[in-house]
Amino acid sequence: MRYSKEQKLDIGRQIYNHELTRAEAMEKYGCKGTFLDTSIRAYKESIGVPTSTTINGKKSKCSNITELSSKEADIDAYMAMSKEELIDELIKTKANELRAKKGYEVKGVGVNKEFISLNNKNTK
């Protein structure tokens, strides 16, 4: 069954505010869990609540770093940069994203470079 955007947001609101459980909503509206997930996500976006980035139920390790780098990005600073500076900044950002995916972060430069593990697991 197709629901309008308003109906979808209302279903998401009811579940988000704990007026209905997921099981009750599935029974009442005759829909699947994935529809409920998208309804809740749409409701959260409509009220401005940030949605979390998850992979297999766990928060992504790289989501924190990419969120921080995107928050720090100031459009005016980028507008003032030359083409070469923009390319350098893009390379740094890509390198940080790849490091985050592998599970580490780099602080410092040259001889003082320090590799910091993002997960607290033993590497031995």
Query: Is-contact 35 28, C-beta < 8 A?
Result: no
Q: What is the pLDDT of residues 17-76, one digit of tens each?
A: 989 899 999 999 999 989 999 999 999 888 887 766 555 555 555 555 555 455 455 677
Specify whether 39 is located in the same domain as 71.
Answer: no
Specify whether 59 is located in the same domain as 112.
Answer: yes
pLDDT at residue 120 greater than cutoff 70 = no
Specify whether 61 is located in the same domain as 112.
Answer: yes
Please report whether residue 69 resides in a domain: yes
Specify whether 34 is located in the same domain as 67.
Answer: no
> Under the phi-then-psi rule, with left for phi > 0, alpha for psi from -120 to 50, and beta for the rest, what region is 108?
left
Q: Range of 27's domain?
A: 5-47
Identify the pLDDT of residue 14: 92
Please state, as a whole number, how many other Cβ atoms lie within 10 Å of the Cβ of residue 60: 16
Query: Is-contact 115 101, C-beta < 8 A?
Result: no
Specify whether 34 is located in the same domain as 85.
Answer: no
Between 120 and 88, where is the model more confident? 88
Phi, psi of 98 (to 5 degrees): -65, -40
Please report whether residue 106 resides in a domain: yes
> How many angstroms separate the CA atoms of 95 and 91, rounded?
6
